[in-house]
Structure 1
Amino acid sequence: MMPSLASLGPALLLWLLTACLGAHAAIQAENDYNIRKIPLRSQSFQAPYLDSDMQSRYFEFGEDTIVRADQYIRLTSDRQGQMGWLFARMPMTANNWQVEVEFKIHGQGHLHGDGMAIWLTEERAQAGKVFGSRDNFNGLGVFVDTYKNQRPGTVFPYVMAMMGNSSVSYDKDHDGKENEIAGCSARGIRGDEDPPTKKIRLTYYQETSLKVELQYKKDSPDEWTECFETGPLKLPQTAYLGFSAETGELSDNHDLISVTSHNLHVRSPPNTGADKSKDGKPAQAPKVQSKPYNPGGDKERGSWRWFFLKIVLFGIVCVGGYVGWTMYRASRRSRF
């Protein structure tokens, strides 16, 4: 006995809904570039920061750094002439990684300084004159500079990246102008204004790119703003994640609230810009030094195009299913 149309109707509707949702999920998976994020516990921390024996299993700190287990790790207090550091005990083992830092820079008065740094360097746990850590480092430094020395035409606070090779010295007198790979102004990244804490996120693909994003704006506290994206950068084979800060004649509290790190397992690698040459050999990736600071920009336009494409594909699947169902119902009626 053939099943009735009434019994097939709900089943067909369920199939149509499943097909539409499946198409949407497939589009979303492709949009995410098939990147799986694996937590890196040895490169992360959050309150209460210390173990039961009042030590940290994965990090160590020094100089003027103090730990308030229920609130923050304070690299410097709002006092003159302080420096502090915090470094991971084990090196970063991931080739592709993402580090998200929640922090707060604040203090009394209208003048403040000097700033804080995030490190991925061969050296670790060494105090010095570059935002509280050593100069002539080998690796990557990302600086949140809150005091302007001699850099005309630049709005401070300023966020910038520098690559060191153990022999290049940081140009402190000119706020790193000669050392900068890329950077952006970030007015509002320090202070007690909303949001109460700020965030910075570093995303690194081995020898491909480094992207730095910020979350600090009062009118959109949960929105990530791209600061810059570099071309290929090669980190040392052994590099340690670290943080440091410094005060001089001017001062600030430099507080770390949490650090969340992930290994980025790339199933489908992002476009590196390297195409094959005519002889079949891989062409060398272009040596792009920096990407201009342009919040939203091309990324925002691309997001809208992708959004409309998903709507069109979703509609095609649904309309196609409806037409098929209508034809099936018409053929059933013609038999009887």
Structure 2
Amino acid sequence: MSAASIALQMAAAVLVLSAAVLATEDIVRGSMITHHSLHPPYIADWWQEGIPHWEMGGDAVATDSFVRLTPQKQSRYGWIWNQQPNENPNWELRMKFAVFGKRAPGADGLALWYVAESYRQHGGNLFGNKPDFKGIGLLFDTYDNDGLRDNPSVSLVVNLDGSKTNWDHDRDFLGDATFRCNFDFRHSTVEDPVEAVLQYYNKRLTLKLRMARRGVDVNCGDTLLELPIGHYFGATASTGGMVDNHDIISIEVRGLGED
């Protein structure tokens, strides 16, 4: 293939992505759906009953300002799962989070999920989830296993029927990802978090990543995909020999295309 042909294909891909991004910006966003959303303060008024509509476990703990899925200690796993199935065919999820540690490099990472069933056991080897999940996951992968210096990275992995059980950790999911981008989410903080904006509208899934204080705004990727209703939102994280804090600050879910 000639250089000119490659350039034309790349330009076409950019135009498609740009059109998708512009389309998502024109979508009517509904009100926040309380029973799918998660926001501080977490323990000020109702800690005895837990976090409404959510269940957390493993090594996860809540403070008033955030939910820490893992501390910066070795071999830790934590999760938080929404207890209500999603009944919205078109939706937007905004997650604010922070990943940081005292030493470099950090690991392993965290993941955002939309899956048929939640995994509430200790030791799931896919950032705290089981490998045969049914649905989709966004993998925020900190550690550079293959030495290509392209981490931290963010990968969308799709496993709608749960048939895939082997994931290529050694190559940082390069061959597994439906789309992937490089984004330095490590060294974010509760005061300066990352915001992941995941939109699903008319069978198109789009991901944007933002760090407001640093003026960073990245279109990570988009893809056509048919997702069912009735799945659950959740987040998991894990550490191995390398460690980081993985903190969820808030999750907001809205319907799209609703006046």
TM bin, normalised by shorter chain, reads 0.7 to 0.9
Corresponding residue for 2:115?
121
Deviation by residue 1:45-90 (Cα, 9 ceiling, x = unmatched)? 111224252412200011100111x221000000000010000001
Corresponding residue for 2:132?
136
Matched, 1:100 2:97: no
Residue number among 234, 238, 241 corresponding to 1:246 in the alignment: 238
Corresponding residue for 2:104?
110
Q: Deviation at 1:237?
A: 3.8
Q: Higher relative contact order at CA 8 Å, sep ≥6: structure 1 or structure 2? A: 2
Q: Deviation at 1:176?
A: 1.4
Residue number among 7, 27, 35 corresponding to 2:28 in the alignment: 35
Q: Runs of 5+ in structure 2 lacking a partner?
A: 1-22
Higher strand share: 2
Query: 2: CA distance between counterparts of 1:246 and 1:135?
Result: 14
Match for 1:44: what amino acid? S
> Would the aligned equivalents of 1:214 and 1:225 in 2 still touch at CA under 8 Å?
yes
Corresponding residue for 2:53?
58
Matched, 1:81 2:78: no
Corresponding residue for 2:15?
none
> Would the aligned equivalents of 1:124 and 1:242 in 2 still touch at CA under 8 Å?
yes
Match for 1:175: what amino acid? D
Residue number among 136, 144, 147 corresponding to 2:143 in the alignment: 147
> Would the aligned equivalents of 1:213 and 1:227 in 2 still touch at CA under 8 Å?
yes
Closer/same/farther in 2, CA of residues 37 and 184 from structure 1, 3 Å limit? same
Could you state the TM-score of these two structures normalised by the residue count of structure 2? 0.82
> Would the aligned equivalents of 2:99 and 2:189 in 1 still touch at CA under 8 Å?
no
Give the 3-state SS of the residue equivalent to 1:48 in structure 2.
Answer: coil
Query: 1: CA distance between counterparts of 2:183 and 2:191?
Result: 14
The alignment's C-alpha RMSD in Å is 2.3
Residue number among 215, 236, 257 corresponding to 1:220 in the alignment: 215
Could you state the TM-score of these two structures normalised by the residue count of structure 1? 0.64
Q: Runs of 5+ in structure 1 lacking a partner?
A: 1-29, 268-336
Closer/same/farther in 2, CA of residues 263 and 62 from structure 1, 3 Å limit? same
Closer/same/farther in 2, CA of residues 182 and 261 from structure 1, 3 Å limit? same
Q: In the comparison of the two structures, how many residue pairs are matched?
A: 231
Deviation by residue 1:282-308 (Cα, 9 ceiling, x = unmatched)? xxxxxxxxxxxxxxxxxxxxxxxxxxx
Closer/same/farther in 2, CA of residues 76 and 112 from structure 1, 3 Å limit? same
Closer/same/farther in 2, CA of residues 193 and 133 from structure 1, 3 Å limit? closer
Corresponding residue for 1:179?
176
> Would the aligned equivalents of 1:36 and 1:265 in 2 still touch at CA under 8 Å?
yes
Corresponding residue for 1:4?
none
Query: 1: CA distance between counterparts of 2:222 and 2:90?
Result: 15
Q: Deviation at 1:177?
A: 1.9
Closer/same/farther in 2, CA of residues 103 and 194 from structure 1, 3 Å limit? closer
Q: Deviation at 1:216?
A: 2.4
Query: 2: CA distance between counterparts of 1:195 and 1:147?
Result: 23
Deviation by residue 1:215-256 (Cα, 9 ceiling, x = unmatched)? 1276415xx3211111x2122442100000000000000001
> Would the aligned equivalents of 1:103 and 1:255 in 2 still touch at CA under 8 Å?
yes
Match for 2:192: what amino acid? P
Q: Deviation at 1:173?
A: 2.3
Corresponding residue for 2:38?
45
Closer/same/farther in 2, CA of residues 57 and 158 from structure 1, 3 Å limit? same
Corresponding residue for 2:157?
162
Matched, 1:259 2:251: yes
Closer/same/farther in 2, CA of residues 81 and 122 from structure 1, 3 Å limit? same
